[in-house]
């Protein structure tokens, strides 16, 4: 399963709690209200455990995690 698909599946199942919702890779998640700040932290913990990375606290923010594309990019950058 591709990284973006793993992230999307987690969001749908654990955060949004609607596995049938269609989330596009460039759809705003935080600014649209789908994810709140508490769930953003939960997502960051999931990403760190799943992808074996350390996400800097400054990256747990709207500009770095507002879309699936942003989240995947943040994970990639955290591997370095």
Domains observed in the chain: 3-78 (1.10.1200.10)
pLDDT band at 12 (very low <50, low <70, confident <90, very high): very high
Question: Using one digit for the tens of pLDDT, what is the confidence trace for 15-66?
Answer: 998 888 899 999 999 999 999 989 999 999 999 999 999 999 999 999 999 9
pLDDT score of 79:
87
Q: Is residue 17 classed exposed, middle or buried when 0-12, 13-18 and 19+ CB atoms within 10 A define those classes? A: exposed
Q: Is the pTM of this model over 0.75?
A: yes
């Amino acid at each position: 399963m591709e990284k973006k698909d793993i992230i999307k599946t987690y969001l749908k199942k654990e955060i949004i709690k609607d596995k049938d919702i269609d989330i596009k890779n460039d759809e705003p998640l935080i600014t649209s209200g789908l994810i709140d700040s508490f769930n953003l932290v939960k997502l960051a913990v999931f990403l760190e455990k799943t992808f074996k990375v350390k996400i800097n606290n400054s990256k747990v923010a709207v500009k770095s995690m507002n879309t699936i594309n942003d989240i995947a990019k943040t994970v990639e950058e955290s591997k370095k």
